[in-house]
């Protein structure tokens, strides 16, 4: 069933979207349909389901009521045609690549993208003749110059991980249309509450639901949302064949987290705005990247294509790599861990952790500097977060000049 646009605001949709398909039982929470297979009333009904004439359930890899509820909910928020839930965020991304790319095709991607996304194309899919170019997609001229006759996909992550740079979605839609390529957007950092790429013309949106949508750092999951039926049908065929689908308990956990996403994102974003402003004035901090600051190079894009600047902050310290690691080691409230979007604040060093598989030269070119510290701001009391960083900067003896 395709998504139907709702007149309700997103804050209401996250609470009510994707309700149980069996309302006669009166369940307020979507039940966990923990079943691997589904029975048929007759041989003819079974045949009809496998032929596609009957859309009822048959086997959980191919569809499950709890999983479908999550797919409907996220799709409604993204205003797409239909969603496909996956076992992980990378299962969503790999399914998109394997569905639409073949030998000889070319992909243009955001250079500062989630490390495993880039490595999948560079290390794995390159073996099958799929080529990729990585450019600063915040610069539309760079995107245009990278286009080739064989370009079949633009893969954009905005805000980018971990530089927090923004890409103009409308501009990328125009470039993709000109060369008949698909525009795929990783919307994990923004969430559909702050950005809806399909509304700007994107063809496909992917998510790591592990992050803000789930919000509790206790489950991994992914989602693909297609803008049109034709795209969805091709993606579904590939996903079901590969088997990277989501299980019902996993879906229930994400649905549970989804219901509070608006509250969590609002609080985390408020904390991030204040924390970025504090860091920008600290004498030991050499630079801050946060779209909510007027100093951010794409600050003008925030209110053109987003509802807010989000909860991700990156910054550098005087003293370089050694000092950056000392700051990270000195925090007490923030947790030293990769991932993001949970209620807790996480801090990490991308160059040696999430993006370590990318060569040093390519990291530098993408702006993933050795002094870059990434903070996924959570929902703690702001005063505690500021005090934590203030103390960590002092304990690390950060120089107050370069």
Active centre residues (catalytic): 61, 114, 186, 211
* Angle, helices 89-100/229-242, rounded to nearest 10 degrees: 110
Would you say 336 and 347 are in contact if contact means Cβ atoms under 8 Å apart?
yes
Would you say 321 and 372 are in contact if contact means Cβ atoms under 8 Å apart?
no
Count the residues in the chain.
Answer: 402
CA angle 207, 290, 351 (to 5 degrees): 70
Q: What strands lie across the sheet with 335-336, from one edge to the other?
A: 285-289, 312-317, 372-376, 346-348, 335-336
Which residue is listed with tokens 């971990």? 162
**β-strand pairing of 82-86 with 222-226:** antiparallel
Would you say 205 and 188 are in contact if contact means Cβ atoms under 8 Å apart?
no
Q: Which residues contact 371 (CB under 8 A, 6 or more apart)?
A: 286, 316, 317, 319, 320, 321, 323, 324
Q: CA-to-CA distance for 205 and 158, rounded, in angstroms? A: 11
């Amino acid at each position: 069933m395709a998504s139907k646009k709702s007149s309700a605001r997103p804050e209401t949709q996250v609470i009510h979207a994707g309700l149980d398909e069996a309302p006669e039982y009166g369940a307020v929470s979507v039940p966990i349909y923990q079943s691997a297979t589904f029975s048929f009333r007759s041989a003819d009904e079974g045949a009809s389901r496998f032929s596609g004439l009957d859309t009822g359930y048959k086997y959980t890899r191919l569809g499950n009521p709890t999983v479908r509820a999550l797919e409907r909910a996220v799709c409604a928020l993204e205003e797409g045609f239909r969603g496909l839930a996956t076992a992980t965020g990378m299962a969503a991304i790999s399914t998109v690549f394997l569905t639409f790319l073949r030998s000889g095709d070319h992909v243009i991607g955001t250079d500062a993208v989630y490390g495993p996304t880039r490595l999948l194309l560079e290390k794995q899919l390159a073996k099958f003749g799929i080529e990729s170019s990585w450019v600063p997609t915040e610069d539309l001229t760079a995107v245009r110059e990278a286009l080739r006759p064989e370009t079949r996909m633009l893969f954009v992550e905005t805000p980018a991980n971990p530089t927090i740079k923004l890409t103009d979605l409308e501009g990328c839609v125009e470039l993709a249309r000109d060369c008949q390529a698909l525009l795929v957007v990783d919307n994990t950092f923004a969430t559909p509450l702050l950005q809806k790429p399909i509304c700007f013309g994107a063809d496909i949106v992917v998510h790591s639901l592990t992050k803000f949508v789930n919000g509790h750092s206790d489950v991994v999951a992914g989602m693909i949302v297609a803008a049109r039926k034709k795209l969805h049908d091709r993606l579904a065929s590939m996903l079901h064949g590969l088997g990277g689908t989501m299980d019902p308990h996993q879906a229930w956990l994400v649905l549970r987290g989804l219901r509070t996403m608006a509250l969590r994102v609002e609080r985390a974003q408020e904390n991030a705005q204040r924390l970025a402003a504090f860091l920008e004035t600290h004498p030991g901090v050499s630079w801050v990247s946060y779209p909510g600051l007027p100093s951010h190079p794409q600050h003008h894009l925030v209110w053109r294509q987003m509802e807010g600047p989000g909860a991700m902050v990156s910054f550098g310290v005087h003293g370089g790599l050694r000092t950056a690691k000392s700051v990270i080691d000195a925090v007490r409230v923030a947790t030293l861990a990769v991932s993001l979007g949970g209620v807790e604040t996480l801090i990490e060093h991308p160059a040696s952790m999430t993006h370590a598989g990318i060569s040093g030269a390519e990291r530098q070119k993408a702006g993933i500097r050795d002094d870059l510290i990434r903070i996924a701001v959570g929902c703690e009391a702001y005063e505690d977060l500021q005090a934590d960083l203030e103390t960590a900067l002092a304990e690390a003896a950060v120089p107050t000049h370069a």
